[in-house]
């Protein structure tokens, strides 16, 4: 199974939201990481066929994104998902199943399992209106899985999940990625750092870097430093280095920076993490 994206472009008036992006994906978990406005949602909407590219092509094996066979393989959780507040979780799932053409009896069995998997067992008779943000998000994930999709696209699926739910979610995604293509977007590094087989770093409509975590960290390995702040060279360091973290310790402030040269004699070289790379590329931009 292969998802093939060839030179896909989308422009909104003067803004090129996605700029000639080409990607090939096989079963596994793909983490699309980028700041606000990077073009993540636009790219995912094109992959899901809800937005047509201005140019370029998208196909899953031999089916183009416009074909019904492609749609049948797809599960999608949009970033802004329209829930029906007066529906119960159960009725909502039955409704979504009907839209996907799943027979009622089959749907019931499947919904039972899915609600269990997303930890909503016991809340199925509650109206969505009384759900918390995290519960709604989990219901959104469950509906995306109704047709057991080979291609699962989740746009910021962890928004609104608390730390405990995030861990559960990550485990679930890892499992799902074993035999299907899972693409999830986020601007939260820790959501994908350990579960993505491949990380796609997106900035201004293009994929800046892609690869496994060790691969994409390679360029900054040996260039991440931790050092004590010395007021004498503070301005200089801010000019020459990407400062990825600053924390106050008992002996004063510590900086974590990325740069070619050892910033000071007492600076310690530390192992690079995805957050360093992200902040290095997205200095001063949105994100967490
Ligand atoms: N329907 C639209 N009409 C006009 N401009 C749009 C439209 N959709 C997206 N854009 C613009 O395209 C760019 C990319 O937006 P997109 O929503 O794809 O980014 P994103 O990476 O998903 O951001 P976020 O992290 O905030 O969700 C932005 O500059 C946005 O303003
Ligand atoms: Mg988005």
- Name 162's Cβ contacts closer than 8 Å, sequence gap at least 6: 134
Single out the residue of 189, 161, 212, 155 nearest to residue 282, CA to CA: 189
Over range 40-60, report the average pLDDT.
98
- Which domains can be identified in the chain, with CATH numbers? 3-216 (3.40.50.300), 222-270 (no CATH)
- Name 8's Cβ contacts closer than 8 Å, sequence gap at least 6: 18, 20, 21, 22, 43, 46, 53, 55, 56, 57, 58
Give the whole-number percent of the chain exceeding pLDDT 90: 68
Q: Enumerate residues lining ligand 1, CB below 6 A.
A: 12, 15, 17, 34, 36-42, 79, 187
Q: Is the pLDDT of residue 253 over 90?
A: no
- Give the Å distance between the CA of 36 and the centre of ligand 1: 8
Q: What is the number of the ligand closest to the CA of 38? A: 1
Structure tokens at 71: 């749609």
Q: Name the residue at shortest CA distance from atom 8 of ligand 1.
A: 42
CB-CB neighbours of 177 under 10 Å: 20
Pocket mutation for ligand 1, best pick of 14, 37, 204, 282 (most atoms within 8 Å of C-beta):
37
Per-residue pLDDT tens over the stretch 66-92: 999 999 999 999 998 888 999 999 999
Per-residue pLDDT tens over the stretch 218-230: 989 999 999 888 7
DSSP codes, 199-267:
EEEEETTEEEEEE-HHHHHGGGTT-EEEEE--GGGHHHHHHHSEEEEEEEETTEEEEEEE-SS-SSTT-
**What's the CA gap between 8 and 126, in Å, rounded?**
42
**What's the CA gap between 229 and 247, in Å, rounded?**
10
Report the Cα–Cα distance between both ends of the chain, in Å, rounded. Answer: 34
**What's the CA gap between 68 and 77, in Å, rounded?**
18
Q: Name the residue at shortest CA distance from atom 7 of ligand 1.
A: 12
Over range 269-283, report the average pLDDT.
87
Most confident of 86-95, 251-260, 279-288: 86-95
**What's the CA gap between 61 and 21, in Å, rounded?**
18
Single out the residue of 156, 154, 150, 178 nearest to residue 71, CA to CA: 150
Per-residue pLDDT tens over the stretch 129-166: 999 888 998 999 999 999 999 999 999 998 878 888 88
Contact 180, 149 (CB under 8 A): yes
- Give the Å distance between the CA of 93 and the centre of ligand 1: 29
Q: What is the number of the ligand closest to the CA of 282? A: 1
Single out the residue of 284, 282, 288 nearest to residue 38, CA to CA: 282
**What's the CA gap between 262 and 278, in Å, rounded?**
20
Pocket mutation for ligand 1, best pick of 9, 12, 282 (most atoms within 8 Å of C-beta):
12
Q: Is the pLDDT of residue 168 over 90?
A: no
**What's the CA gap between 134 and 126, in Å, rounded?**
15
Q: What is the number of the ligand closest to the CA of 288? A: 1
Q: Name the residue at shortest CA distance from atom 26 of ligand 1.
A: 36
């Amino acid at each position: 199974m292969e998802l093939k994206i060839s030179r896909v472009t989308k422009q909104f008036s003067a803004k090129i939201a996605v700029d000639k992006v080409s990607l090939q994906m096989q079963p596994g978990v793909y983490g699309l990481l980028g700041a606000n406005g990077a073009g993540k949602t636009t790219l995912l909407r094109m992959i899901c066929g809800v937005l047509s590219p201005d140019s370029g092509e998208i196909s899953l094996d031999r089916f183009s994104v416009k074909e019904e066979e492609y749609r049948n393989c797809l599960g999608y959780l949009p970033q802004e998902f329209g829930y029906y507040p007066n529906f119960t979780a159960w009725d909502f799932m039955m409704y979504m199943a009907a839209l996907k053409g799943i027979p009622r009896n089959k749907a019931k069995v499947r919904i039972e399992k899915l609600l269990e998997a997303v930890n909503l067992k016991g809340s199925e008779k509650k109206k969505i209106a009384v759900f918390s943000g995290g519960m709604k998000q989990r219901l959104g994930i469950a509906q995306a899985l109704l047709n057991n999709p080979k291609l699962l696209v989740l746009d910021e699926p962890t928004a609104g999940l608390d730390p405990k739910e995030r861990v559960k979610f990550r485990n679930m995604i890892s499992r799902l990625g074993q035999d299907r293509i899972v693409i999830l977007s986020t601007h939260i590094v820790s959501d994908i750092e350990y579960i993505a087989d491949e990380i796609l770093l997106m900035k201004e409509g293009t994929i800046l870097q892609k690869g496994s975590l060790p691969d994409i960290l390679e360029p900054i390995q040996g260039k991440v430093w931790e050092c004590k702040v010395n007021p004498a060279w503070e301005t200089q360091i801010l000019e020459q280095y990407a400062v990825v973290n600053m924390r106050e310790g008992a002996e004063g402030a510590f900086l974590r920076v990325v740069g070619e040269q050892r910033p000071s004699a007492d600076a310690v070289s530390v192992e690079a993490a995805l957050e360093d790379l992200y902040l290095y590329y997205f200095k001063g931009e949105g994100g967490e």
